[in-house]
């Protein structure tokens, strides 16, 4: 619960702002639509979502992700609102799909053998866990599960665990991977519809979708998740999965965390079809955030 704040002299710090974001996330998920604005503050001494016009609101937020502080705000707290507010606002009437990749200066997300741990620093890892806590579902490809055996939970921050979604079109993953065995959060395994008739590995629920010559039909996956009320979608890797969603124009935002590291060879991050002229490349609007020694580029692909 957010600590009661009886004064307006001390600026809102990152810890308070994070809990405010979680409070907003919870409130938005219980509403049928995003209203014109929210306020955060105290109601009868308890933290609450208020009307944007309520003079007791510390911060007001609008459906487009913009915000205004009525009390002093620390620089770090303001950065958290800039980076995460639109994620907290994801809902049926305003779904959001965000992808993230961590890479070296020379655009590698892993060594040739798949080793990728410690490319980025601990600050970016905390960012990943915040994104997981604010989103409804987290998507990874089968190769990411094979290489990292990830838990895909929010161990580093306060907040709920997302539904975990693994894309495994050919059903090559065995039940021995940890996320299929624990019950920390629901897990969905998405595969070719022709292979969906047998039970999933471990505790996974199997969802079959059509396949094309490029792989799983990604718009259908997004539609199925939205049907389940999973409207804030976070694609955490790997490079082929993120690239496929980007090529299909299904991303609202793309986050790339660049570490001061040169690998020299290895697995590339974004891979898209060849272009003939640089004018055909993407130049999205973006903001940069310092995360320890890393720099996060938060790119807005859709308004």
How is residue 195 written in tokens? 């292979």
Q: What is the pLDDT of residue 260?
A: 97
Please, how many CA atoms are within 13 Å of residue 12, restricted to the half-sphere of its CB? 26
What is the residue-wise DSSP string for 81-98? HHHHHHHHT-BTTB-EEE
- Fold adopted by 96-300: Dihydrofolate Reductase, subunit A (3.40.430)
Tokens 């008739």 locate to 197
- E-only strand ranges, 111-200: 137-141, 163-167, 187-192
Estimate to the nearest angstrom the gap between the alpha carbon of 76 and the chain centroid: 20
**pLDDT tens, residue order, the chain (303 aa):** 233 344 446 788 999 899 889 988 988 888 654 556 778 876 665 667 888 888 888 888 887 888 999 889 999 999 999 999 999 999 988 899 999 999 999 999 999 888 888 899 999 999 999 999 999 999 999 999 998 999 999 999 999 999 999 999 999 999 999 999 999 999 999 999 999 999 999 999 999 999 988 899 999 999 999 999 999 999 998 999 999 999 999 999 999 999 999 999 999 999 999 999 999 999 999 999 999 999 999 999 986
What is the rounded CA–CA span in Å between residue 263 and residue 232? Answer: 33
CB 138 within 8 A of CB 165: yes
Domain ranges of the chain: 14-88, 96-300
């Amino acid at each position: 619960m957010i600590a009661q704040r009886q004064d307006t002299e001390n600026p809102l710090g990152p810890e308070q702002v994070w809990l405010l974001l979680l409070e907003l996330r919870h409130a938005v998920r219980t509403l049928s639509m995003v209203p014109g604005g929210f306020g955060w503050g105290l109601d009868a001494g308890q933290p609450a979502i208020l009307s944007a016009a309520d003079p007791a609101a510390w911060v007001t937020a609008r459906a487009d992700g913009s915000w205004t502080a009525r009390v002093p705000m620390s620089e770090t707290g303001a950065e958290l609102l800039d980076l995460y507010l639109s994620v907290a606002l994801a809902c049926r009437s305003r779904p959001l799909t965000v992808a993230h990749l961590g890479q070296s200066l020379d655009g590698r997300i892993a060594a040739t053998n798949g080793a990728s741990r410690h490319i980025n620093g601990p600050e970016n890892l905390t960012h990943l866990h915040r994104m997981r806590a604010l989103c409804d579902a987290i998507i990874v490809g089968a190769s990411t599960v094979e290489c990292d055996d990830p838990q895909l939970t929010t161990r580093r921050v306060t907040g709920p665990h997302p539904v975990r979604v693994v894309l495994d079109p050919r059903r090559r993953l065995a039940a021995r991977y940890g996320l299929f065995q624990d019950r920390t959060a629901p897990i969905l395994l998405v595969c070719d519809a022709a292979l969906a008739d047998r039970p999933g590995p471990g505790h996974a629920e199997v969802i079959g979708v059509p396949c094309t010559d490029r792989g799983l039909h990604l718009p259908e996956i997004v539609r199925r998740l939205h049907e389940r009320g999973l409207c804030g979608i976070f694609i955490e890797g790997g490079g082929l999965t993120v690239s496929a969603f980007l090529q299909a124009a299904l991303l609202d935002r793309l986050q790339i965390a660049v570490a001061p590291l040169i690998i020299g060879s290895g697995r590339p991050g974004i891979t898209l079809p060849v272009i003939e002229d640089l004018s055909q490349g993407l130049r999205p609007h973006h903001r940069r955030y310092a995360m320890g020694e890393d720099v996060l580029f938060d790119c807005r692909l859709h308004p």
